[in-house]
Chains A and B, each alone.
Chain A
Amino acid sequence: MILTDILEILKSDSENNAYRIGVNNYTYNELYKYVCNLYWFLLEKNRSKKPVVIYGSKEIYMKASFLACSFAGMPYVPIDINIPKDRVDEIIKQINPDVIIGDLEKDVRAIKSNDIYSIMNNNNFSEINKIYMKPQDTYYIIFTSGTTGKPKGVEITYSNLDSCIKWLKDITNAKNEIVLNQANFSFDLSVADLYLSLVTESEHFIINTNNMMDFKKIFNELKTSRVTLAVMTPSFADLFLTDKLFSEELLPELKMIIFCGEKLLKSTVNELYSRFKRLKIINTYGPTECTFAVTSFEIPRNFDEEIPVGIPKNDVDIFVLDDNDKELKDGEKGEILISGKSVAKGYINLKTNKFITYKGKSAYKTGDIGYIKNGNIYIIGRKDSQIKYKGYRIELKDIESNIMDLEEIDKVVVLPKLNENKKVEMLIAFVKTKNKTEFDIKKELKKKLPSYMIPKIKIINEFPINKNGKCDEKRLMKELL
């Protein structure tokens, strides 16, 4: 399995770069030292083998800790520093870890990064002599937006991840690449580049996205990167494409982009293909509950049809169901159900009817609406009020419930504004409140929600009501925005 392969590569005494961020390069050899030191440290410190919370941004200790936990047979929970404090507290409450790695203030369980670095850098270390992780063990827990206003943790097993990464290796045919990372580590898009880079003995290249408006700096970093393969959201590519310099001249060795996270538009594909002559674009699809992605489609050049998300990986089946869970025929639209090896264990501390057994296999009802045509799967929307915004998955009810939790709020409705391609271009919260301004609400919300979940606030006096006595969402968008 992948940990055996990764351990072999780490042990191979390789001077190839494993990880690069800014001016810092780390070879496979160095990474191995870090992982070994943290492995022995964790085996000693986390005897309960409870999940380890790993808090930070894209520092090398993040990736080293993920691996150390994995070899030591402990699940890890990545939390990015941009997640606001209230949400971090909620995640930690749900996990109740014995050990936290990273600079989380005021928590006695947290081992600060300075201490982590000194543990990692011990040159007199023992090698990893056993991989404790078993196929059915939880490998990582990633938190995603929940309808109750609290994040929910998805438990991915070692077997789930192993299957996903082997499939990715297959469809990309990658070896000794330089793999561009976009996503932060608490977003499961990053799982693809984190592990694909390891199993293919590639360099994992981290771009600094703290100030996305500083194109000059970002493009200079890209220019020296020699990136060959990139994993990103379509929104991220669209941002780069606003500058004509984003082309083959900037990234002459870029041969593949893997897209995931949201709808990929023809305009994005066409623009990329016209600027990069040797590029291959792969569109993929899958919810966090099914381990990053389960379908793929390599988009041919001059492809003029609707872009599908492609065909499922070998050990996964996809069905389209109607409201009574009856299977639909080719071309008919319904809910997408995924069954097979990629389906997660479930949510932690949460019962749900989304994880079921279907035809004898574990399955997940995605809530995505789509259809199958000529074997290819197409996704067209959602059954509920979950949306994709900037590649992130958001429950509108999560935002509403966090606004309602503020003081002096009478009522709130959050709606997405769609552009002509039916992509969400803005989130708007219509709020009825006596004394608060939009800036008050935004400021308070920032303590509770990550920035991509903070909507535009529109204060209104009354909500329009439709014939059924419900809030008239159409009129709200039309008249009051």
Chain B
Amino acid sequence: MEEKIIGIIQDLTGYKDLKKNKEIDLLENEILDSLAFIELISSLENEFNIEIQPTQVDPNTWRSINSIIDLVKSLQV
């Protein structure tokens, strides 16, 4: 699952080395912007059959790959 999520984020943002750098701040470094964010929500929802409500998510979640992975895990239960 981690691999898949990293793959999705790499495809959406155009950054290829995110795997080595899972704690990089995606917002601070402007890797994840509003357009990529819209795509990310729908890709994660489709891939993992989950429903993400951004209003129910701590905005800091979108800062790192690890916290996005945690979010997906928590929604899958």
Contact = CB atoms under 8 A, between A and B. Distances in A.
B38 A216 contact: no
Contacts of A425: 35-36, 39
Interface in B14-38: 14-15, 27, 29-30, 33-38
Contacts, number: 61
A442 B56 CA distance: 32
A213 B62 contact: yes
Nearest to A245: B55
Interface stretch (A17-25, A375-383, A450-458, A465-473): A450-458
A428 B59 contact: no
Contacts of A214: 59
Interface in A176-209: none
A1 interface: no
B13 interface: yes
Contacts of B46: none
A235 B35 CA distance: 7
B30 A216 contact: no
A418 interface: no
Given A211-B59, A451-B30, A426 B35 contact: yes
Interface residues of B, number: 25
Contacts of B62: 213
Mostly, the B contact residues are: helix
B14 A428 contact: yes
A97 B50 CA distance: 55
Contacts of B53: 243-245
A216 B55 contact: yes
B41 interface: yes
Contact of A242 (B12, B29, B54): B54
Contacts of A303: none
Contacts of A428: 14
The winner among B12, B13, B14, B56 for most chain A CB atoms within 10 A is B14
20 contacts: A211-B59, A212-B34, A212-B37, A213-B27, A213-B54, A213-B59, A215-B55, A216-B56, A219-B55, A238-B38, A239-B38, A242-B42, A244-B51, A390-B34, A417-B14, A426-B12, A426-B14, A426-B36, A428-B14, A442-B29
